[in-house]
Chains A and B, each alone.
Chain A
Amino acid sequence: MEPAAAVINELAVLPEKMSEFAHAVKTRSAIAQTPKECIWTLNKAKLWRYIPVVPAEKRHPVPLIMVFALMNRPYILDLRPGHSFVEFMLQNGYDLYLLDWGEPGPEDKGLKFDDYVLDYMPRAIRKMKQVSGSEEFSMLGWCIGAILATAYSALRPDDGLRNLALLTAPLDYGDKQGITFARWVDEKFFDVDKVLAAFGNMPGELIDYGARALKPVDNYVLNYLKLWDNIENPQVVEAWKAMNTWVTDNIPLAGGAFRQLIVDLYRHNRLIRNEWLLRGELVHLGRIRANLLTVIAEGDHITPPCQSRTLMEKVSSRDKELFSIPGGHIGIMAGSAAHRNTWPHIEGWLKARSK
Chain B
Amino acid sequence: MAEKQSTNGKDYDPMGAFREMRDNYLDAWAKSMVETVNTDAYAKATGMLLDTYLSASSPFREAVEKSMLQTLQQLSMPSRADFVSLAERITHIELKLDDLDAGLDRIEKLLAKPIAARTATPAPARRSKRKGAK
A residues at B contact (CB < 8 Å) = 1, 3, 6-7, 10, 41-43, 105-108, 119, 123, 126, 130, 180, 183-184, 186, 188-191, 194-195, 198, 213-218, 221-222, 225, 229, 301
Interface size class, chain B: 35 or more
Q: Is there contact, CB below 8 Å, between B57 and A184? A: no
The residue of chain A having its C-beta at the shortest distance from the C-beta of B13 within the complex is: A6
Q: Is there contact, CB below 8 Å, between A215 and B58? A: no
Given contacts A10-B14, A214-B37, 18 further A-B contacts (CB under 8 A): A6-B11, A6-B14, A7-B14, A7-B15, A42-B91, A105-B87, A119-B95, A180-B38, A184-B42, A184-B47, A186-B43, A189-B44, A189-B46, A198-B57, A214-B34, A215-B30, A215-B33, A216-B37
Checking B11, B26, B47 against A189 with a beta-carbon cut-off of 8 angstroms, the contacting residue is B47
Q: Is there contact, CB below 8 Å, between B102 and A123? A: yes
Contacts of B102 on A, CB cut-off 8 Å?
Answer: 123, 126
| Min distance, Cβ A48 to any Cβ of chain B, angstroms | 17
B residues at A contact (CB < 8 Å) = 1, 4, 11-15, 19, 26, 29-30, 33-34, 37-40, 42-44, 46-48, 50-51, 54, 57-58, 61, 80, 83-84, 87-88, 91, 94-95, 98, 102, 105
- Give the number of residue pairs across the A-B interface with Cβ within 8 Å: 91
Q: Is there contact, CB below 8 Å, between B50 and A106? A: no
Label chain B's interface by main secondary structure: helix
The verdict on A189 contacting B30 (CB below 8 Å), with A7-B14, A107-B83, A126-B102 known, is no
| Min distance, Cβ A115 to any Cβ of chain B, angstroms | 10
| Min distance, Cβ A226 to any Cβ of chain B, angstroms | 10
Q: Is there contact, CB below 8 Å, between A43 and B80? A: no
How far, in angstroms, from A191 to B54 measured CA to CA in the complex? 10
What would be 18 A-B contacts, judged by CB atoms less than 8 Å apart?
A6-B11, A6-B12, A6-B14, A183-B38, A183-B39, A184-B42, A184-B43, A188-B43, A189-B47, A191-B51, A191-B54, A195-B50, A195-B54, A213-B37, A214-B37, A216-B33, A229-B1, A301-B34
